[in-house]
Amino acid sequence: MSDQTEELGILETLDHLLDRGVVIAGEAVVSIGDVDLLYLGLNIVLANVDAIIRTSQPKQIK
Amino acid sequence: MKHVVIGAHLEKRDIEPLAEAIPVADLWLSGMPIEDAQPLGDRELLLRVAQIRAALLDQGTFIAIRYGFTAHGESDAAVKCAPHIERWRRVLHDCRGMVEMTLKVAAAAPRPRPDRHDFDSGAAYIRALHDATRAAEVEPEFRRAVDATLAPLAVKHRWSNRDTASLEFAALVARESVAAVNDAGAALKRDFASVPFLLSGPWPLEVFADDHE
């Protein structure tokens, strides 16, 4: 596996880890690099601004 | 000691010995124990969780919990997860044997991302960002090809605008269909060599985990 491919794999993996999945109330705040993190109410929302916008869009399910 | 919670599972045997199984009602959480003082914003920890997550998916389908949620023991986990248990049970039963695949594609003509410093208020900035994100579109021919080749392999699928420069096609597929999805992705790569896209997976239940609300 080339370095570039490996790095792409890590980025994609971390994107899924940090940007998908269900959010549960918690008590932790994580700051990684200079990514914008938001803290909303009692729920920890570990996501960047783009993720917040995306989840505010109406769902289209087929 | 606390646990970084990785996912919600139907069966305890889907978790062990890769992670610790934490009971919540009749379901199970997979968790990785760490010291209370250990910061979560640690690259090595992130990568360890990512590796366990991938291995857990090989053992069985689960609902991904977004990184950052920790629990101090069974009672803490039970209290925090109580509002989700019924839905999780439904999702896990309905999606047993399924995984997610995602295809990320660059927007055909991305609009420039708004600059925070150009706005007087946060609300105006968010609105502008929202507008720019929603304006992003995939090259129509590529989108038609995805809808014609990948979508029929999925139980459910969904397009969503990720940011000002990319969109994503997410598909819930049976594990047996993963190879066919990858084959279809390879064909797209041949047919649309100039379109930058990344097909990845299988992933646990992430995008479709909230559909049963």
C-alpha distance from residue B120 to each of A40, B123, B127, B128, B133 (Å): 21, 9, 12, 12, 20
Q: Residue A43: pLDDT band by 50, 70, 90 thresholds?
A: very low
Helix B140-149 × helix B178-191 angle, to 10°: 150
Q: Which two tokens stand for residue B203?
A: 């992933």
How far apart CA B102 and CA B166 sit, in angstroms, is 13
Q: Residue A48: pLDDT band by 50, 70, 90 thresholds?
A: low
Q: Using omega within 30 degrees of 0 as the cis cutoff, is the peptide bond preceding B17 cis?
A: yes
Query: Measured between CB atoms, does B162 come within 8 Å of chain A?
Result: yes
User: How does DSSP assign B142-187, residue by residue?
Assistant: HHHHHHHHTGGG-SEEEEEE-SSSEEEEEEEEEGGGHHHHHHHHHH
Per CB-CB distance under 8 Å, the chain B contacts of A12 are: 198, 200
pLDDT at res. B168: 94
> What is the rounded average pLDDT for all residues in chain A?
60
Asked if pLDDT for residue A41 goes beyond 60, the answer is no
In chain B, the residue whose alpha carbon lies closest to the alpha carbon of A9 is B200
Shortest Cα distance, chain B CAs vs residue A3, angstroms? 16
Specify whether the CB–CB gap between B178 and B101 falls below 8 A: yes
- Return the amino acid letter for B192: F
Helix A3-19 × helix B43-59 angle, to 10°: 80
Contact A53 B133 (CB under 8 A): yes
In this complex, the residue of A14, A22, A49 whose CB is nearest that of residue B66 is: A22
Asked if pLDDT for residue A34 goes beyond 60, the answer is no
pLDDT digits (tens, 9 = 90+) for A49-62: 566 556 555 444 33
Query: Measured between CB atoms, does B25 come within 8 Å of chain A?
Result: no
Residue ranges in chain B modelled with pLDDT below 50: 213
Q: Which parts of chain B fold into alpha helices (H)? A: 43-59, 73-81, 85-94, 122-135, 140-149, 178-191
Q: Which two tokens stand for residue B180?
A: 């066919």
How far apart CA B126 and CA B60 sit, in angstroms, is 38
Q: Residue A14: pLDDT band by 50, 70, 90 thresholds?
A: confident
pLDDT at res. A29: 47
pLDDT at res. A12: 87
